[in-house]
Amino acid sequence: MLTEFEHYLATQANLPNEAIRKISTLAMPRILRRNEFIFRAGEICRHKIFIVNGLLRTFNTTTAGNEHILQFSPELTWTLDVESYDRQIPSYVSIAAVEPSNILLWHKSTFNTLLTEIPAFKKLAEQLISRNIYHSRQRMLTILSGTPEEKYADFIRNYPGFLSRLPLRMIAAYLGISIKTLTRIRHTQLQR
């Protein structure tokens, strides 16, 4: 589990071996079963999370019980709720495993130490934030602009691998459309 992470780090940033060792030594490994939560809405996000393998989802549940998915996080990516983590306030989203997953956790204080001690790691962290911002923007446009067909097509294009790993209802919850609409789209596409 740690070797996968170390390999990821080595390919992503120009880090001395010693630094890589240190970062991974301080990680807390954890195994998640399907549907197991890392934290629930109302709790505070206390860790940075790296997904070694598996798939997580970040979502919000309305009082009416509807689920809206903000983000999927597959293997070799990071996740957390930024606002809750930064300010240590209760989160309004939950993060849970879609598939059985292996993850690594760092406590905020630990992670901050690493950031100050290892400049190249700080740089990597900043790059990840940037990518996240670009990505959110793009997603906002997609949600705003499209007909359901276009949203679905965008999803397939951007995340071709996810289709087979996710129940359709989660894709619908991600796209902001009803599952009925989604199956209708798929139905008409099959006929072509």
Partner DNA sequence: GTTAAACAAGGTCATTTGACCATCATTCTA
Partner DNA sequence: TAGAATGATGGTCAAATGACCTTGTTTAAC
Structure tokens at 172: 């619908």
Question: Residues 28-47: x/- map of binding to DNA (CB under 7 A)?
Answer: -----xx-------------
Tell me which of 82, 120, 156, 168 binds a copy of itself, using CB under 8 A.
Answer: 82
Task: Name which of 165, 163, 161, 158 is nearest 186 in CA terms.
Answer: 163
Q: What is the rounded distance in angstroms from the CA atom of residue 187 to the CA atom of residue 99?
A: 26
Cβ-Cβ contacts under 8 Å for 49 (sequence gap 6 or more): 38, 56, 73, 78, 79, 80, 95, 103, 104, 105
Partner whose footprint covers residue 34, from a copy of itself, DNA, none (CB < 5 to 8 Å by kind) = DNA
Question: Residues 135-174: x/- map of binding to a copy of itself (CB under 8 A)?
Answer: -xx-xxx-xxx-----------------------------
60 binds a copy of itself (CB under 8 A): yes
176 binds a copy of itself (CB under 8 A): yes
- Read off the amino acid at residue 152: Y
Asked if 154 and 146 count as a contact pair (C-beta separation under 8 A), the reply is yes
User: With respect to DNA, which residue has the nearer C-beta, 88 or 183?
Assistant: 183
107 binds DNA (CB under 7 A): no
Task: Name which of 104, 108, 128, 1 is nearest 44 in CA terms.
Answer: 108
Q: How far apart are CB 91 and a copy of itself at their closest, in Å?
A: 10
Candidate ranges 13-21, 85-93, 124-132, 181-189; the one touching DNA (CB under 7 A):
181-189
Task: Name which of 157, 156, 176 is nearest 166 in CA terms.
Answer: 156
Q: What is the rounded distance in angstroms from the CA atom of residue 144 to the CA atom of residue 137?
A: 11
178 binds DNA (CB under 7 A): yes
Handedness of CA 66, 47, 164, 137 (dihedral sign): positive
68 binds a copy of itself (CB under 8 A): yes
List contacts with DNA (CB under 7 A): 33-34, 147-148, 167-169, 177-184, 186-187
Instruction: By CB under 8 A, name the binding residues for a copy of itself.
Output: 60, 62, 66, 68, 70, 82-83, 86, 92, 129-130, 132-134, 136-137, 139-141, 143-145, 176
